Amino acid sequence: MNGWCGRLLAVDLSSGKIWVESLKQELLQAYLGGRGLGVRLLRDSYHLDPFASEIPLVFAVGPLCGTPAPTAARLAVVSRSPLTGTIYDCSAGGRFAWRLKAAGFDAVRISGQSTSPKVLAITPQGGELLPATELWGQPIAETVQALSGRGSVAAIGPAGENRVLFGNIMMGEGNAVGRGGLGAVMGAKQLKAITVDGDRRYDVADRPRFDQARKDIMRLFRASPVIFGDLGIAEYGTPALVDLMAQRRMAPTENFRKTVFSRSDKYSGPAIRQAYQPKKDGCYGCPIQCKKSTREGVPLPEYETVSHFGALNGVDDLRSIVQSNTICNQMGMDTISAAVTLATWGELRGTFLRADELAPLLRDIAFRRGDGDLLDLGSARLAAQKGQPNLSMSVKGLELPAYDPRGAYGMALAYCTSNRGGCHLRAYPISHEILRKPVATDRFSFAGKARIIKIAEDTNATIDSLVACKFSFFGASLEEYGELLSATTGCEYDPQHLKSIGERIYLTERFYNQQNGFTAAADQLPERFFVEPGSSGEGIEVPPIDRQRFAEEMDKYYRMRGLTPEGRFADADFLERQP
Amino acid sequence: MKRQLEKYAGKLIADGGADAASMAILAKDDQILELGSPELLQLGRAVLERLNVVSLVIADPSLPLLDTLFGRLSPQASEIVPLDTETRTFLHDIPVVRRDQFSAEHPERLVELLGQRKGILVEGVGIMTTGSVTVELGYINYCSIYHALFIKILLDFLQGNPPTLNEIQSLLPLWHQLQVPIPERVDDLRGAGLGEHEDILHAMEIAGRRTVELHLVDSFFGNISCRVGSRQYISQTGASLDELSGCIDIVADDNSSTAGITASSELIAHRAIYQQTGAAAILHGHPKFSVILSLLCEETDCRIKDCWKECERVRSLCGTPIVAGEVGAGGIAKKVPPVIGETGTAIVYGHGVFATGSNDFVRPLRALIRLENDCRREYLRLLQGRVVDSSSSVLLAQKQV
Ligand SMILES: [Zn+2]
């Protein structure tokens, strides 16, 4: 079998037992790996409480990992989110994924709860649990440093240990398994870190075909201005979007009360370049290298992070934005959720935080001290506890990233149809609504958007299962990645087939959520976006979203998904019909 | 969405060389919307229902290019490989389907192939393409395949088997067209200087639209820019040159803003041309006969295989230099600027033409027109040398009466 190892490492932290299970080929071919495989592996446990001892936390790589496929040295981590209550997956780069595959595993499934802090050390021989009492409480860099002899590291920081609901799992190279609080799930298990080392190499089934597909992809990257253009993400990282979002008047400002922040040039791509002369950095095996870090190797913030610690909190001080990012990385905490929660707090109090107030409060959140012991719950619970639930800018409890939905109607829909809550990456309509890839769509129109979102969700579920990076798709498409996959595995995968796999994954997630009590009522934007306009100007009108058109397009979406008008599955046996 | 269908049906006829009687265009919202010939729509519905895409375009070009292709293909051939580099960059190989491989009741083979590729060539039906995001994308893919097919066949007449009398006869409207030079309609661009902001946008819009109207580019490809002070106005990536309103980015030389991340993929090439030549305006199109002739190379014992990106030579066509280079950050930006200074025009192997001007778009547009007219004449001359019978020869030289 090319492409997969067919092996899963099972770990029970309660008993301390570790064993290897084999993964059936049919299952791997039907779910690929990453998100799809992880979601499938949760079929018997999706209903468990995210902090229940038995809930599994799955790390899964994909069939392209371990090959020279561009941007494919990634993995997905899957469990149920304590922040949203939905099924949850997040994709991350770094060497960890590649080493896990090199150790001979497609996935690791961790369940149970240890009675004392542990490190799971994985090698080709299997796994071993090591005591980690002295690492508990340590920030990420110190933890990674302490484990440096053991290969690649994935660890939680104080935020995950303290079950901050948006605690991350951090990869040793600085990549985050972010957003939904899977770090807290790991913390509840008292698992401080996982190390992995291995040296197994993989052949692809058809080398010439693989090389051709790889060349095609590289050519498309070079033809894509967003990727390799003079002003693209390889040069400036994702903060290249700061200026664009300002120009399009859709940069969320002061907790989404406005959509333009006049001082965003203080933390734009060019401003960061001038202040830090960053070096190019990035995921292992990625030719794009969109991550940027300081000369000393400290990761610099992504677009969502600069914009949300900046505009959303009314802060223009680049140093304090970078410092906030560093604290979140060190504490193992999601920057988007943290920044939105701070902005919610600002609006609740009537004054937004000053630049110098960000850092101490972020530390307090990670350690759950003072006000931090309320803010650690995320914006939805915070706003609800303060009696103003409408002030949380979130969907299904997941804080919205830095694309105002009033400025891109596909994005407005996609925040709501996403199975993990208000996330921009599930359908990534920014690609066509803003970046004109593969073609431009009218961002102020709902026409045709439901279908576009549905197809993109299917496509991206596949990408998350390969596991490849979304940014590759500013240039390439499933046509080329299908070729890579066919050449790697020796099984034929064309785009249509791959999208049907993505559709299966999407529907499975939605079914889990439905069984856990989610209804169409949860597929809704915060009220603000239907009643308050954005910041119009310079010839761009940013009205509130038309509630009726939004509802009509959601109705269409449910129909296209084969769901009832209430957004439900017509038959209760959906899962039984899936492989 | 209905409006989109109407718009692109119109464009198929005006720019895409399609014929109203033999085209269909369909889109999926929560139900299928459609426009076109009933027979093709029946087939189109059967295909679109089975695909996870937004749009489907089916059209048979009014020039019988498909019949010509199928007449020349070996019976075993299952695909063609585009020779022009833009299509090759985005579409890879293009599958072909024979008449006996499908029907409206059994479209499985079409569905299978369209599940793999953005477009296919179907005997007796035409070009079929899908769009994964919009109707427009289906149309863009159609234009790419039409362009690739046109270039492939006309180059084959020069390099492969010479055209038969039958082929010459069936393409008679094309030969007539080539006898009439493209008109130099540039006067309204004169004095449309590059001064005030509004004037610049206006001049770019006219020049862009004219380039499309004169068939010097398929509307979605090509790009246009001008340099004013230390800033560049440039068309956005994927912008239709005939619909540039709202699709022009302003990019500062010092990169003080990255809002131009949406600018054309050839921004890097345009910048390098401005730096190295002192030009003030650039127009880039894909005129068909300039592209075809650029692919003709007399070299016999050359070891380079991927000429379109690896050839280092500077060749010449009708007095204009030809260089090879990939789209975007690949090679055009390195290869074109050093050669374009002298003549103000440069051809990119198998791709298109860049032309510069010093104060407006008159000279770039005129340069594209003149070069294409020269190449059309040269093509006809070369083709005359290939045809074997005197009847073909007479038909090629005939002017329309
Ligand atoms: Zn071009």
pLDDT tens digits along A127-156: 999 999 999 999 999 999 999 999 999 999
Cα A81 to averaged position of ligand 1 atoms, centre (Å): 47
Neighbours of A75 (CB within 10 A): 33
Is B51 touching A (CB cutoff 8 A)?
yes
Measured between alpha carbons, how far is A354 from A320 in angstroms, rounded to an integer?
A: 10
**Rounded mean pLDDT, B258-265:** 95
- Report the separation in Å between the CA atom of B266 and the middle of ligand 1, taken as the mean of its atom positions: 8
CA of B259 to the centre of ligand 1 (A): 22
- Average confidence (pLDDT) over A317-337: 98
Q: Are strands A107-111 and A7-12 parallel, antiparallel or unpaired?
A: parallel
Whether residue B176 is contained in a domain is answered as no
Residue B266 has a pLDDT of 93
Does B81 contact A at CB distance below 8 Å?
A: no
Closest CA–CA distance from residue A264 to any residue of chain B (Å): 11
Task: Decide if B75 contacts A472 (C-beta within 8 A).
Answer: no
Instruction: Note which residues in 313-372 of chain B have CB less than 8 A from chain A.
Output: 326-330
- Token pair recorded at residue B242: 């005939």
Residues B199 and B50 in one domain: no
Give the Cα separation of A191 and A183 in Å (integer). 10
Residue-wise pLDDT for A81-114, tens only, equals 999 999 999 999 989 999 999 999 999 999 999 9
Most A CBs within 10 Å, among B7, B28, B262, B348, to test the A interface: B262
| Residues B259 and B379 reside in one and the same domain | yes
Contact A228 B329 (CB under 8 A): yes
DSSP run (H or E) holding A128: strand A126-131
Which of A264, A451, A457, A494 should one mutate to test binding to chain B, selecting the residue with the greatest count of B CBs within 10 A? A451
B273 close contact with A: CB closer than 8 A: no
Percent of chain A with pLDDT over 90: 96
Work out the end-to-end distance of chain A between its first and last CA atoms, rounded to an integer number of angstroms: 19
Mean pLDDT value across chain A: 96
The confidence score (pLDDT) of residue A1 equals: 82
- CATH code for position B64: 3.40.225.10
From chain A residues 544-573, the ones with a CB under 8 A of any chain B CB are 556, 559-560
Whether residues B19 and B147 fall in one domain: yes
Hey, are the CB atoms on A222 and B1 less than 8 Å from each other? Answer: no
Instruction: State whether B135 and B210 are in the same domain.
Output: no
Closest alpha carbon within chain B to A498:
B115
B280: tokens are 């003030």
Helix axes B362-386, B197-213, angle to 10 degrees: 10
**Chain A environment of B326 (Cβ under 8 Å):** 219, 222-223
CB pair distance less than 8 Å for B257 and A265? yes
Q: Which pLDDT score is estimated for B207?
A: 95
What are the beta bridge partners of residue B34?
B26
Cβ-proximal residues to B306 (8 Å cutoff; 6+ apart), any chain: none
Instruction: State the average pLDDT over residues B24-52.
Output: 95
CB distance B133–A432 less than 8 Å?
yes
B92–A438 C-beta distance less than 8 A: no
Q: Is A236 on the interface with B (CB under 8 A)?
A: yes
Is residue B86 scored above 90 in pLDDT?
no
pLDDT digit string, tens, across residues A340-373: 999 999 999 999 999 999 999 999 999 999 999 9
pLDDT of residue B91: 73
pLDDT beyond 80 at B191? no
Total residues belonging to chain A: 579
Q: What is the pLDDT of residues A197-217, one digit of tens each?
A: 999 988 999 999 999 999 999
Q: Helix (H, G, I), strand (E, B), or coil: what is residue A517?
A: coil
CB contact under 8 A, A556 and B265: no
- Cα of B193 vs centre of ligand 1, distance in Å, is 25
Residue B120 in any domain: the answer is: yes
In a domain, B167, yes or no: no
Average pLDDT of the segment spanning A446-459: 96
Question: Residue B190: pLDDT above 90?
Answer: no
B219, pLDDT greater than 70: no
3-state secondary structure of B283: strand
A494–B326: do the CB atoms touch at under 8 Å? no
CATH numeric code, A7-196: 3.60.9.10
Distance A483 CA to ligand 1 centre (A): 26
A273-280 CB contacts, 8 Å cutoff, 24+ apart: A273/A236, A275/A318, A276/A300, A276/A322, A278/A237, A280/A234
Task: Report the pLDDT averaged over residues A552-568.
Answer: 97
Q: Taking 90 as the threshold, does the pLDDT of residue B17 lie above it?
A: no
Q: Do B133 and A439 touch (CB under 8 A)?
A: yes
- Backbone angles phi and psi of A281, in degrees to 5: -145, 175
Q: How far is the CA of B376 from the centre of ligand 1 (A)?
A: 19
B116 in reach of chain A (CB within 8 A): yes
CA–CA gap between residue A203 and residue B126 (Å, rounded) = 41
Say if B259 is an interface residue toward chain A (CB within 8 Å).
Answer: yes
Q: Flag the least confident range among A371-375, B20-24, B310-314.
A: B310-314
Residues A229, B326: C-beta atoms closer than 8 Å: no
Residues B133 and B251 in one domain: no
| Paired residues of A279 in beta bridges | A293
Whether residues B151 and B202 share a domain: the answer is: no
pLDDT band at residue A569, thresholds of 50, 70 and 90?
Answer: very high
In a domain, B198, yes or no: yes
CB A375 within 8 A of CB A335: no
Task: For residue A361, give the amino acid letter.
Answer: L
List pLDDT tens digits, range A383-421: 999 999 999 999 999 999 999 999 999 999 999 999 999
pLDDT band (50, 70, 90) for residue B401: low
pLDDT > 70: what percent of chain B?
Answer: 98
Question: What SS3 class is residue B217?
Answer: coil
Nearest by CB to residue B237, choosing from A220, A225, A458, is A225
Is A223 in Cβ contact with B90 (below 8 Å)?
A: yes
Which structural domain, as residue segments, surrounds residue B124? 2-161
Question: Per-residue pLDDT tens for A255-297?
Answer: 999 999 999 999 999 999 999 999 988 888 889 999 999 999 9
Task: Report how many domains make up chain B.
Answer: 2
Asked whether residue A43 carries a pLDDT value surpassing 80, the answer given is: yes
Q: How close, in Å, is residue B235 to chain A by CA atoms?
A: 12
Among the residue ranges A182-191, A348-357, A470-479, A480-489, the one predicted with the least confidence is A470-479
Q: Are A413 and A551 in contact (CB under 8 A)?
A: no
From B195-199, B247-251, B252-256, B289-293, the region with the lowest mean pLDDT: B195-199
Q: Which residue in A450, A455, A494 is closest to B115 by CB distance? A: A494
- Structure confidence at residue B345 as a pLDDT band (50, 70, 90): very high
Are B15 and B84 contained in the same domain? yes
- List the single residue in B with minimal CA-CA distance to A232: B261
